[in-house]
Amino acid sequence: MYAFTYERPKNVDEAVKLLKKAKDGKILAGGQTLLPAMKLRLASPDTIVDLSRVKGLSGIKASSKAVTIGALTKHIEVMGSAEVQKSIPALAHLASLIGDPAVRNRGTIGGSLANNDPSADYPAAALGLGATIKTNKRELPADKFFKGLFETALAGDEIIESVSFPVPEKAGYEKFPNPASRFALVGVFVSKSKDGVRVAVTGAGEGGVFRVKEMETALAKDFSAKAIEGIKVPAKNMIADIHGTAEYRAHLIGVMARRAVAAAK
Amino acid sequence: MSATGIGAAVRRKEDQRFITGTANYTSDISRPGEVRAWFVRSPHAHATIKKIDTKAAEKMPGVVAVLTGADLANDKIGGLICGWAITSKDGSPMKMGAHPAIAADKVRCVGDQVAVVLAETLNQARDAAEKVKVDYAVLPSVVDPAKATAKGAPQIHDVAPNNQIYDWHIGDKNATDAAFASAKHVTKLEIVNNRLVPNAIEPRAAIAEYDQGNDALTLWNTSQNPHVARLVISAFIGMAPEHKLRVIAPDVGGGFGSKIFIYPEEVVALWAARRVKRPVKWVSDRSEAFLTDAHGRDHVTHAELALDADGKITGLRVRTIANLGAYMSTFSSSVPTYLYATLLSGQYAIPNIYAEVEAVYTNTAPVDAYRGAGRPEATFVVERLVEVAARELGIDPAELRRKNFVKSFPHQTPVIMAYDAGDYDASLTKAMEMVDYRNFGKRKAESERKGKLRGIGFSTYIEACGIAPSQAVGSLGAGVGLWESAEVRVNPTGSVEILTGSHSHGQGHETTFAQLVSERLGVPIETVSVVHGDTDKVQFGMGTYGSRSGAVGMSAISKALDKIEDKAKKVAGYMMEASADDIEFKDGKFTVKGTDKSVGWGDVTLNAYVAHKFTGGQLEPGLKEGAFYDPTNFTFPAGCHIAEVEIDPETGKTTIANWVAVDDFGVIINPMIVEGQVHGGIAQGVGQALLEGASYNADGQLITGSFMDYAMPRAGDLPSFKVDTTMTKCPSNPLGIKGCGEAGAIASPAALINAITNAVGHENVPMPATPGTVWKAAQRAVMKKAAE
Ligand SMILES: Cc1cc2nc3c(=O)[nH]c(=O)nc-3n(C[C@H](O)[C@H](O)[C@H](O)COP(=O)(O)OP(=O)(O)OC[C@H]3O[C@@H](n4cnc5c(N)ncnc54)[C@H](O)[C@@H]3O)c2cc1C
Q: Are B80 and B206 found together in one domain?
A: yes
Q: Are B211 and B337 found together in one domain?
A: no
Q: Please state whether the peptide bond connecting residue A123 to the residue before it is cis, i.e. omega within 30 degrees of 0.
A: no
How far is the alpha carbon of A166 from chain B, nearest alpha carbon, in Å? 31
Dump the DSSP string for B77-143.
PPPP---B--B-TTSPBP-PPP--SS-SSEE-STT-EEEEEEESSHHHHHHHHTT-EEEEEE-----
Q: Are B591 and B580 found together in one domain?
A: yes
Name the residue with the closest Cα to ligand 1, atom 38.
Answer: A111
Q: How far is the CA of A113 from the centre of ligand 1 (A)?
A: 8
Q: Are B111 and B36 found together in one domain?
A: yes
Ligand 1 touching residue A114 (CB < 6 A): yes
Confidence band, pLDDT 50/70/90 cuts, at residue B782 = confident
Find the helix packing angle between B771-787 and A246-263, rounded to 10°: 80
Q: Are B551 and B451 found together in one domain?
A: no
Q: What pLDDT sits at residue B450?
A: 97
Q: Which residues lie across from B65 on neighbouring strands? A: B118
Residue range A60-263, CATH number = 3.30.465.10
**Strand A25-28 relative to strand A160-166: parallel, antiparallel, unpaired?**
unpaired
Q: Are B103 and B213 found together in one domain?
A: yes
* Contacts (Cβ under 8 Å, ≥6 apart) of B187: B304, B305, B307, B385, B388, B389, B392
Report the residue of A182, A248, A256 to disrupt the B interface, i.e. the one with the largest count of B CBs within 10 Å: A248
B287, B707, B772 ranked by CB distance to A180: nearest: B707
How far is the alpha carbon of A31 from chain B, nearest alpha carbon, in Å? 17
How far is the alpha carbon of B687 from chain A, nearest alpha carbon, in Å? 11
Q: Can you list the alpha helix ranges (DSSP code H) found in B394-469?
A: 397-404, 424-434, 440-449
Is B80 inside a domain boundary?
A: yes
Name the residue with the closest Cα to ligand 1, atom 44.
Answer: A114
Ligand 1 touching residue A166 (CB < 6 A): no
Cβ B112 vs Cβ B326: under 8 Å: yes
Q: Are B694 and B706 found together in one domain?
A: yes
How far is the alpha carbon of B709 from chain A, nearest alpha carbon, in Å? 5
> CA B707, CA B44: separation in Å to the nearest integer?
22
Q: What pLDDT sits at residue B2?
A: 79
> CA A72, CA A51: separation in Å to the nearest integer?
8
Confidence band, pLDDT 50/70/90 cuts, at residue B468 = confident
Q: What is the pLDDT of residues B331-378, one digit of tens each?
A: 999 999 999 999 999 999 999 999 999 999 999 999 999 999 999 999
The verdict on B772 touching A (C-beta cutoff 8 Å) is yes
> CA A190, CA B140: separation in Å to the nearest integer?
48
Contacts of B127 in chain A (CB under 8 A): 2
> CA B371, CA A214: separation in Å to the nearest integer?
51
Q: Are B647 and B691 found together in one domain?
A: yes
How far is the alpha carbon of B408 from chain A, nearest alpha carbon, in Å? 45
> CA B388, CA B757: separation in Å to the nearest integer?
9
The verdict on B701 touching A (C-beta cutoff 8 Å) is no
Contacts of A244 in chain B (CB under 8 A): 770-772
As a whole number of Å, the end-to-end CA separation of chain A is 45
* Contacts (Cβ under 8 Å, ≥6 apart) of A260: A90, A172, A173, A174, A188, A189, A190
Contacts of B776 in chain A (CB under 8 A): 248
Q: Do B709 and A245 touch (CB under 8 A)?
A: no
* Contacts (Cβ under 8 Å, ≥6 apart) of A82: none
Is B781 inside a domain boundary?
A: yes
Ligand 1 touching residue A136 (CB < 6 A): no
Q: What is the pLDDT of residues B525-579, one digit of tens each?
A: 999 999 999 999 999 999 999 999 999 999 999 999 999 999 999 999 999 999 9
> CA B417, CA B428: separation in Å to the nearest integer?
22
Q: What pLDDT sits at residue B103?
A: 98
Confidence band, pLDDT 50/70/90 cuts, at residue B467 = confident
Q: What pLDDT sits at residue B783?
A: 81
Q: Are B650 and B737 found together in one domain?
A: yes
Confidence band, pLDDT 50/70/90 cuts, at residue A45 = very high
Confidence band, pLDDT 50/70/90 cuts, at residue A125 = very high
In this predicted structure, the answer to whether residue B633 has a pLDDT above a threshold of 70 is: yes
| Ramachandran assignment for B577, one of left (phi > 0), alpha (psi -120 to 50 degrees), beta (any other) | left
Domain final residue, candidates B629, B650, B683: B629
Burial A81-118 (b: 16+ CB within 10 A, else e): beebbebbbbbbbbbbbbbeeebbebbbbbbbbbbbbb
Q: What pLDDT sits at residue B1?
A: 57
> CA A265, CA A254: separation in Å to the nearest integer?
19
Domain final residue, candidates B346, B368, B402: B402
Ligand 1 touching residue A182 (CB < 6 A): yes
Q: Can you list the alpha helix ranges (DSSP code H) found in A130-245?
A: 142-145, 213-221
Cβ B191 vs Cβ B301: under 8 Å: yes
Quote the distance between the C-alpha of residue B592 and its chain's center.
47
Q: What is the pLDDT of residues B166-197, one digit of tens each?
A: 999 999 999 999 999 999 999 999 999 999 99
Is B109 inside a domain boundary?
A: yes
Atom of ligand 1 nearest to the CA of A122: 11
Ligand 1 touching residue A73 (CB < 6 A): no
- Alpha carbon separation from B458 to B121, B448, B643 (Å, rounded): 53, 21, 7
Report the residue of B143, B775, B776, B783 to disrupt the A interface, i.e. the one with the largest count of A CBs within 10 Å: B775
Q: What is the pLDDT of residues B293-334, one digit of tens each?
A: 999 999 999 999 999 999 999 999 999 999 999 999 999 999
Q: How far is the CA of A150 from the centre of ligand 1 (A)?
A: 11
The verdict on B782 touching A (C-beta cutoff 8 Å) is no
Contacts of B652 in chain A (CB under 8 A): 248
The verdict on B483 touching A (C-beta cutoff 8 Å) is no
Ligand 1 touching residue A81 (CB < 6 A): no
> CA B550, CA B548: separation in Å to the nearest integer?
6
Q: Do B287 and A40 touch (CB under 8 A)?
A: yes
User: Could you list the residue range(s) of the whole structural domain that residue B249 is in?
Assistant: 31-139+202-253+259-292
Query: Domain limits of chain A?
Result: 5-49, 60-263
Domain final residue, candidates B292, B307, B341: B292
**Strand B35-41 relative to strand B280-283: parallel, antiparallel, unpaired?**
parallel
Q: What integer best gives the mean pLDDT of chain B?
A: 97
The proportion of chain B whose per-residue pLDDT surpasses 90, expressed as a percent, equals 97
> CA A80, CA A89: separation in Å to the nearest integer?
10
| Domains in chain B, number | 4
Q: Do B703 and A242 touch (CB under 8 A)?
A: yes
A3, A180, A255 ranked by CB distance to B711: nearest: A180
Cβ B709 vs Cβ B720: under 8 Å: no
Q: What pLDDT sits at residue B788?
A: 76
The verdict on B712 touching A (C-beta cutoff 8 Å) is yes
Q: Are B93 and B146 found together in one domain?
A: no
Find the helix packing angle between B743-760 and B375-393, rounded to 10°: 30
Q: How far is the CA of B203 from the centre of ligand 1 (A)?
A: 26
Mutational test site, ligand 1, from A115, A139, A176, max ligand atoms within 8 Å of CB:
A115
Contacts of A176 in chain B (CB under 8 A): 651, 653, 771
Q: What is the pLDDT of residues B674-711, one digit of tens each?
A: 999 999 999 999 999 999 999 999 999 999 999 999 99
Q: Do B651 and A181 touch (CB under 8 A)?
A: no
Cβ B726 vs Cβ B662: under 8 Å: yes
Which residue in chain A is spatially nearest to B648 when comparing CA positions? Answer: A255
Q: What is the pLDDT of residues B204-237, one digit of tens each?
A: 999 999 999 999 999 999 999 999 999 999 999 9
Confidence band, pLDDT 50/70/90 cuts, at residue A103 = very high
B127, B650, B691 ranked by CB distance to A179: nearest: B691
> CA A107, CA A128: separation in Å to the nearest integer?
21
CATH topology of domain A5-49: 3.30.43
As a whole number of Å, the end-to-end CA separation of chain B is 60
**Residue B706's CATH number:** 3.30.365.10
In this predicted structure, the answer to whether residue A185 has a pLDDT above a threshold of 70 is: yes
Q: By three-state DSSP, how is residue B115 classified? A: strand
Mutational test site, ligand 1, from A32, A54, A78, A104, max ligand atoms within 8 Å of CB:
A32
Ligand 1 touching residue A107 (CB < 6 A): yes
Q: How far is the CA of A8 from the centre of ligand 1 (A)?
A: 18
Q: How far is the CA of A116 from the centre of ligand 1 (A)?
A: 9
Q: Are B377 and B303 found together in one domain?
A: yes
Quote the distance between the C-alpha of residue B560 and its chain's center.
26
Quote the distance between the C-alpha of residue A3 and its chain's center.
30
**A217 phi/psi in degrees, rounded to 5:** -60, -45
Atom of ligand 1 nearest to the CA of A72: 41
Q: Are B345 and B279 found together in one domain?
A: no
* Contacts (Cβ under 8 Å, ≥6 apart) of B515: B4, B5, B6, B8, B10, B525, B669, B670
